[in-house]
Amino acid sequence: MTVDERIIVPLDVPSLSAALALVDQLPQVSFWKVGLELFVSTGPAIVQELKARQKRIFLDLKFHDIPNTMAGACRMAAAQGIDLITIHGAAGKTALMEAQAGVIAGAAGVGVPTPMVVAVTVLTSIAPQALSLELKIPLDLPDYALQMALLAKDSGLAGVVCSPQEAGQLRRFLPADFVLVCPGVRPTWANANDQQRTMTPAQALQAGATYLVIGRPITAAPEPAAAFDRICAECSTALSS
- Please enumerate in sequence order all residues whose Cβ is within 8 A of that of 75, keeping only pairs 6 or more positions apart, or say none: 102, 103, 105, 106, 109
The Cα–Cα gap between 106 and 27 comes to 29
Asked if 153 is an active-site residue, the reply is no
- Please enumerate in sequence order all residues whose Cβ is within 8 A of that of 204, keeping only pairs 6 or more positions apart, or say none: 164, 167, 182, 185, 212
Strands (DSSP E) found in 83-187: 84-88, 116-120, 159-161, 179-182
Q: Which amino acid is at 95?
A: A
Q: Which amino acid is at 71?
A: A
Q: Which amino acid is at 174?
A: L
Provide the 10 A C-beta neighbour count for residue 193.
13
Q: Could you tell me if 185 and 164 are in contact, meaning their C-beta atoms sit under 8 angstroms apart?
A: yes
Q: How far is CA 128 from the centre of its chain?
A: 21
Catalytic one of 62, 93, 136, 153: 62
Closest by CA position to 33, among listed 4, 56, 5: 56
The Cα–Cα gap between 79 and 84 comes to 12
Provide the 10 A C-beta neighbour count for residue 24.
9
Q: Could you tell me if 85 and 74 are in contact, meaning their C-beta atoms sit under 8 angstroms apart?
A: yes
Catalytic residue positions, numbered: 62
